């Protein structure tokens, strides 16, 4: 558990991860990772620019391994965005949003079936939490 993933507001892709919450570090790390991913995909430009609000760090609240019926293992992370509940009278505040499960490499979302069973969206594989 712990750490942060860096998600692009424009495309929704995960552009990297970090143990640091320093915004300057996250922005530069995000920019470099996004550029590398874009070049590998044959694009000239990345959708994320340094120090711009498109890059949002999201805290990782849970991290665990799962196994498919064919024996393949994956790492799943859970992130929760925050919902802004600020008011003029009470000032800034927030509450945790809904959990979102993804493969740790950022390649696919993961749907939760029950507390120990999940489905990888991209492949349709059912996987089970490894205890």
- What's the mean pLDDT in 7-29? 60
What is the structure's pLDDT at 53? 45
- Domain-by-domain residue ranges, the chain? 4-129
Average pLDDT score over residue span 82-95: 83
Taken in order 14, 18, 22, 27, the sign of the CA dihedral is negative
Q: Within 13 A of 106's CA, how many CA atoms are on the CB side?
A: 15
Query: How big, in percent rounded to 5, are the helix, strand and coil portions of the chain?
Result: 15, 45, 40
Q: Mean pLDDT in the chain? A: 75
* Tokens matching residue 20: 């640091």
Check pLDDT > 90 for residue 72. yes
Residue 55: pLDDT over 60: no
DSSP 8-class letter at 85: -
């Amino acid at each position: 558990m712990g750490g942060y993933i860096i998600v692009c507001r424009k495309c929704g892709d995960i552009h990297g991860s970090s143990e640091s919450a320093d915004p300057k570090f996250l922005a530069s790390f995000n920019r470099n990772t996004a550029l590398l991913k874009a070049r590998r995909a044959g694009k000239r430009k990345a959708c994320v620019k340094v120090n711009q609000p498109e890059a949002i760090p999201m805290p990782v609240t849970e991290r665990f391994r799962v196994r498919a019926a064919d024996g393949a293992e994956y790492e799943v992370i859970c992130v929760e965005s925050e919902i802004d509940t600020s008011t003029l009278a009470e000032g800034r505040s927030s509450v945790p949003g809904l959990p979102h499960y993804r493969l740790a490499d950022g390649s696919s979302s993961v749907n939760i079936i029950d507390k120990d069973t999940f489905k990888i969206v991209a492949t349709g594989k059912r996987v089970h939490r490894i205890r």
